Structure 1
């Protein structure tokens, strides 16, 4: 039976803006080449810089409050999951932004908060390594899919605007199970639909809580150490730690086929 990750897991891994993790690429044990690679979307593939600017403007120029907003949004997505409630990630993000504004004495309406989040989220640019990295992985024969806490419609719009739509076989959202990562259900639903075993799949994310959730289900995991991202030390380490998709491609090319 899969063990559910405790809320305490997020305490050390949702904080943004800290120093980067070490960039060691090799796994601690020999792994078989995965058949499928699942990618997280926001921050892993897409750059949040435009969102940081928009949220900062909504908060009276306080771009430094983006980490607080993001961690608040993730916190309450987990609260909804464990209390069997469900609102979309956009709805939770809007509520979280209003909460941050209120704690800082900043007046912000629901519509203003929603516009500050939804508009830039739809057109986030990919990180510089993403397009070539994905193309290389597809050329190497991997099935490429995504799994996000965002809505199905939201990620489709993001991928179209970022020029990534044709690089993915499938796009999975927590909409289907109404439980947010790192709960086991989203990962398990993707595995079932793909028709593969957990150890045949590699989950790639720039969030320690996401790779921890995937590892908990039995997936191979790769942590992309985007600037400001660090690992949570109280859970099992991911199988790979890389600086970007370019390095991930190189590492996987040295992994033996199953």
Structure 2
């Protein structure tokens, strides 16, 4: 047994955040990739700013606001697709290896959970759509503390609820800033660097870097 507890970030780690725009790529037009990149970047920026201000609103509201900004920055994209894109965000595709990896870890007796900025309703919808509800033990949302990652209280949700020391929990995320926050909190961290991004936050390094979650089954 590698670790007894595995916790996964949701968006970008289990679920492809660009799947919503890709699903409507033909209708959006050539600015689709730009729209998707801005949408994601602003979604995260708004979460950090809201945490610093102490002005929490749930992640779904940030997702809507970020999409509106993205349309303003990509004016040739068809704004009439706004609701279609928002609807698609509730059922994002998971990455191809995700179901098999989680099932294999579960079969070994591991405890599995999601720890995400997403609202409870968003996460439950995504998990059901990807048929991951049968393998996950818990879904932890920042809604419980009304702060976003990388606030330490977010990572403490898992340690407190599971009554485990942080270093006994393996935390997986594709977001390097999330890995930095989790490492500082004390988790064993695995950066899923799917797109080969350069390293940053070098004073809070990951325990391991993988190209996909499949590496967790190779003795990681």
Question: TM-score surpassing 0.5?
Answer: yes
Is 1:44 the counterpart of 2:13? The answer is: yes
In structure 2, do the counterparts of structure 1 residues 125 and 69 end up closer, same or farther at CA, with 3 Å as the change threshold?
Answer: closer
Runs of 4+ in 1 over 4 A off after TM superposition: 54-61, 104-109
Number of the residue aligned with 1:18: none
Q: Which residue of 1 aligns with 2:209?
A: 241
Which residue is equivalent to 2:42?
A: 72
Match for residue 179 of structure 1 among 140, 143, 147:
147
Q: CA RMSD in A?
A: 2.4
Q: CA deviation at 1:215?
A: 0.5
Question: How far apart in 2 are the matches of 1:122 and 1:107?
Answer: 21
- Greater relative CO, 1 or 2 (CA 8 Å, sep 6+): 1
Number of corresponding residues: 219
Q: In 1, are the aligned partners of 2:39 and 2:67 still within 8 Å (CA)?
A: yes
**2:158 matched to 1:190?**
yes
Q: Distance in 2 between matches of 1:93 and 1:59?
A: 18
**Secondary structure of the corresponding residue to residue 57 of structure 2:** coil
Structure 1 residue 219 and structure 2 residue 179: aligned? Answer: no
Question: Structure 1 regions of 5+ residues with no counterpart?
Answer: 1-31, 253-258
Structure 2 residue runs of 5 or longer lacking an equivalent are none
CA deviations on 1:14-42 (whole Å, 9 max, x unpaired) are xxxxxxxxxxxxxxxxxx95321100111
Deviation at 1:216, TM superposition (A): 1.1
1:169 aligns with 2:137: yes
2 CA distance for matches of 1:156 and 1:102? 30
Counterpart for residue 128 of structure 2: 160
Question: What TM-score does the superposition give when structure 2 sets the normalisation length?
Answer: 0.89
- Kept after mapping to 2: 8 A contact 1:33/1:200: no
Residue 214 of structure 2 is aligned to residue 250 of structure 1: no
Task: Give the TM-score normalised by the residue count of structure 1.
Answer: 0.77
